């Protein structure tokens, strides 16, 4: 019975949020936390509202609180990364996105967010292209496993464009071409891999 009431209150908070009634969404979520201090979904909603209104420290605090209760909460890590990125704390954002991926390796938005953070870091510090190459290759593998072959192919190509001798990406792209019956293109990549 309590679980059903919680679900209804979360739906109510989320409906308020989606309708742009942030104060109402915040009030419902805070009321939930008063009754159940370990309600991580309510913390998540509060973090999203805080981030949307520019209260990044408060947002980060809610996300970190949720993570301390539920260590395997990829949404909280991903949103924590976004909060850090928006504050210009790129290294911390990168760490949070990597943790989201560690917890849930097929979380595509975390890969995309990590790529954005790495690009921002590269502009500031000259992040090695090999790191981004590995990232694109890993994302390609996830996409391929989900059956999104065209998107996977593009990620493998991005990895190779950053690091032309990325043998794993060359191999992955070659196998995509084999699956598509483009054997000449696959053979070119296999030969390039062994040069």
Give domain status of residue 28, yes or no: no
Give domain status of residue 182, yes or no: yes
Q: Which has the closest alpha carbon to 130: 166, 157, 98, 95?
A: 166
Give domain status of residue 186, yes or no: yes
Give domain status of residue 141, yes or no: yes
User: Mean pLDDT, to the nearest integer, of 160-186?
Assistant: 86
Give the E-state strand segments of 68-186 in sequence order.
Answer: none
- Over the stretch 60-113, which tens digit does the pLDDT of each residue have? 999 999 999 999 999 999 999 999 999 999 889 988 998 998 889 888 888 888
Q: Which pLDDT does position 44 carry in this prediction?
A: 95
Give domain status of residue 189, yes or no: yes
* Residue 161 confidence class, pLDDT cut points 50, 70, 90: confident
Give domain status of residue 98, yes or no: no
Dihedral sign (CA 22, 25, 30, 33): negative
Give this prediction's pTM. 0.69
- Residues 19, 28: Cα–Cα separation, whole Å: 14
Give domain status of residue 142, yes or no: yes
Give domain status of residue 187, yes or no: yes
- Split into its structural domains, the chain has a count of 1
Looking at the chain, the whole-number percentage of residues with pLDDT higher than 70 is 92
Q: Which pLDDT does position 126 carry in this prediction?
A: 60
Q: Which pLDDT does position 125 carry in this prediction?
A: 61
Q: Which pLDDT does position 120 carry in this prediction?
A: 78
Task: Please report, for the domain that includes residue 175, its CATH number.
Answer: 1.25.40.10
Domain range for 173: 132-195
User: Mean pLDDT, to the nearest integer, of 102-125?
Assistant: 81
- Residues 170, 164: Cα–Cα separation, whole Å: 8
């Amino acid at each position: 019975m309590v679980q059903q009431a919680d679900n209804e209150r979360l739906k109510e908070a989320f409906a308020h949020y989606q309708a742009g009634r942030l104060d109402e969404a915040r009030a419902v979520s805070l009321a939930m936390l008063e009754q159940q201090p370990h309600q991580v979904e309510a913390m998540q909603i509060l973090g999203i509202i805080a981030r949307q209104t520019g209260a990044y420290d408060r947002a980060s605090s809610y996300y970190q609180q949720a993570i301390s209760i539920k260590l395997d909460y990829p949404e909280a890590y991903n949103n924590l990364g976004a909060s850090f990125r928006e504050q210009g704390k790129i290294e911390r954002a990168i760490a949070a996105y990597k943790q989201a991926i560690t917890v849930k390796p097929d979380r595509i938005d975390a890969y995309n967010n990590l790529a954005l953070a790495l690009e921002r870091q590269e502009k500031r510090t000259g992040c090695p292209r090999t790191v981004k190459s590995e990232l694109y290759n890993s994302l390609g593998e996830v996409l391929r496993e989900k059956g999104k072959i065209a998107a996977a192919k593009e990620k493998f190509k991005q990895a190779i464009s950053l690091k032309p001798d990325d043998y794993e990406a060359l191999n992955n792209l070659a196998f995509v071409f084999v699956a598509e019956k483009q054997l000449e293109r696959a053979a070119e990549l296999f030969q390039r891999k062994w040069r």
